[in-house]
Structure 1
Amino acid sequence: MLGRWLQPASVRVRPLREEDRSAALELCAVDPVASVLAAVQVEQLGRRRMPGAELLGLWQEGRLRALCWSGANLVPVAVDEPELVDAVAEHVRGRGRRASSIVGPAEQVLPLWDLLGPSWLPAREVRADQPSMAISGPPALDPDPRVRLSRVDELDVVVPACVAMFTEEVGYSPVASGGAYAARVHELVTTERSYVRIEDAPEGRRVVFKAEVGACALGVAQIQGVWVHPEHRGEGIAAPAMAAVVEDVRRRTAPTVSLYVNGYNAAALATYRRTGFEQVGTYATVLF
């Protein structure tokens, strides 16, 4: 009997409801940079429904201990103890793989993948070392004044640049399965979360730099999709361009700007450090 009481209380998993929003946001606020991807979904609890997706809460002794967004991506928050990892894995394993990636803090993603890997299809790639970086003050160098918000009438050049970035980064074209990706780019442009530098070229106008605010919650804006046109790499464009993005995002959107980058991408790491970003953690991504 004594051994039974020494065991940790069982973890209960259930979808979060609107009345759970405050407790879930409090959990995300412990580390808002690490939690921003899931916090976006927490802020929408009870306000919109996404078919096939759910925000899971992990409860222990009546207290919300952790959560996990299970949608297009699997995103854990505070799933940092073995019993919590086990509970998430058991729940999502039985439903089969629906996510295109598992992404979040490395110390949560990698143990989760260790449990899910044997029963899910092999991953295309496991990126175990992705420095998570943030800046909460002015950029460390002068911003490029040519970097600005994208316009809807520029989608004819913005969408191809976004497709090129995604294909280069992930390894396949995002438009192969339909028009959802172009719709997402359109949404980012119309909500003033898409930044570009566009110049004339022999073939016409083209994007030479781009970046987007891919997620924003709890005072943190996460930059995604940073890309420089291949013909302009090595010209020193990226750091001043990122400084312009940081300056405008901090002024209009959120006081802290974050991003994560592959650890092997020395050029990108140097660019972000020049801009004033500092490493605050480590992400990992499992791509399917």
Structure 2
Amino acid sequence: MLTTRHGVRPLGPADLDEFLDLVGQDPVVNVFAEYRARTTNLEPRWLGGEVWGRFADGSLVAACHVGANLVPIQATPDDARAFAQRAAGRSRTVSTIVGPHEAVDPFWRAVGHAWGRPRELRWMQPHLEIGSAPLVEPDPGVRRTTRHDMDLLYPACVAMYTEEVGVSPEAGGGSDMYRARVAQLVGRGWSFAKFEGGRLVFKAEVACASATAAQVQGVWVDPQRRGEGLATRGMAAVVDLVRRDVAPTVSLYVNEWNAPARKAYERVGFRETRRFSTVMF
């Protein structure tokens, strides 16, 4: 535990209220951090890692989630460099660094020499939000999935993940863990899809949510059906369902180079609010 009034230390349950005040400064961008805090109470054994806080004059000014994902929270470039100084003295345990570009960029510049070459760098990913009804007619065929859909849903999730990340989630014996994650989202009512002729043609999931926002991930269209507008009307349906039953604002981030996806989200009514960056190992 730090004894100085300025510095970085791990947070715990006693810091939860102050941490929630911090993420509440931008509750949509920080939805992952709030979700993790509320579901773990900042207990390291439940986090599977740590959350670091940076303090100035005794007050929490920035934080950093350090688990499978390393996520800076309300971090200025100076805060990010302070977190990087702590991280550089440890072996890398994270598989991804992700968050607002203005924090990820200085963090990576400071820690990259110690953590080695990443598999991929994705800079300037648009972070998008919608807090109103979609601008296009939702696809009435999109619905919540159930456990009876797993035979069609799970292969689509694997295909999406492999296409997006470049590595199968089943690699290295990870199929049981990934299947459990997909089933967990289905059980929460956070998995949505459209089926036609015994095939899944569109899907998306909520990755995390709070009372304010829900972050969508895993948007995928059957490659044989791309270019038909399934993503646009499908995402309009997801926005409607999520805003009705999960949270009033829907967010996601998308690769800058993915012009078809960006156009689909724009048609639905998503608007860019920040730029994210992702470093993948």
Given the two structures, how large is their TM-score scaled by the length of structure 2? 0.94
CA deviation vs aligned residue, 1:174-214 (integer Å, no higher than 9, x gap): 011322111100100011000000122xxxx2211000000
Q: Deviations over 1:86-133 (max 9, x none)?
A: 221122222211111100111111110111111112011111011000
**Counterpart amino acid of 2:187?**
T
- Which residue of structure 2 lines up, in the alignment, with residue 242 of structure 1? 235
Q: What pairs with 1:42-191 in structure 2 (closer than 5 Å)? A: 42-46=37-41, 49-50=45-46, 52-82=48-78, 84-177=79-172, 178=174, 179-191=176-188
Equivalent AA in structure 2 for residue 181 of structure 1: Y
Q: Highest CA radius of gyration, 1 or 2?
A: 1
Structure 2 counterpart of 1:74, one-letter code: L
Instruction: Say if 2:188 is the partner of 1:195.
Output: no
CA distance in 2, matches of 1:173, 1:74: 21
Which residue identity lines up with residue 136 of structure 1 in the other structure? G
- Misfit runs of 4+, over 6 Å: none
CA distance in 1: counterparts of 2:73 and 2:21, whole angstroms: 11
Q: Give the drift of 1:45.
A: 4.2
| Contact in 1 for aligned 2:27/2:213 (Cα 8 Å) | yes
Q: Is the 8 A contact 2:236 2:268 kept in 1?
A: yes
Q: Quote the sequence identity (%).
A: 45
Q: 2:158, 2:169 within 8 Å by CA — same for their partners in 1?
A: yes
Q: Is the 8 A contact 1:11 1:87 kept in 2?
A: no
The equivalent of 1:223 in structure 2 is 216
Distance 2:211 2:60 in 1: 18
Q: Where does structure 1 lack aligned partners over 5 or more consecutive residues? A: 1-8
> Against the structure 1 CA distance between its residues 51 and 139, is the aligned structure 2 distance closer, same or farther, given a 3 Å change threshold?
closer
Aligned ranges 1:245-260 → 2 under 5 Å:
245-260=238-253
Q: CA deviation at 1:52?
A: 4.2
* TM-score under structure 1 length normalisation: 0.92
Most deviating of 166-175 and 27-36:
27-36
Q: Take 2:171 and 2:134, find their aligned partners in 1: how far apart are those partners? A: 37
Q: What is the distance in 2 between the residues matched to 1:218 and 1:91?
A: 32
Distance (whole Å) between structure 1 residues aligned to residue 89 and residue 19 of structure 2: 24
CA distance in 2, matches of 1:59, 1:44: 23
Task: Output one character per residue of 1:66-105: Cα deviation in whole Å (capped at 9) or x when no partner.
Answer: 01110000000112142x2222112222221111110011
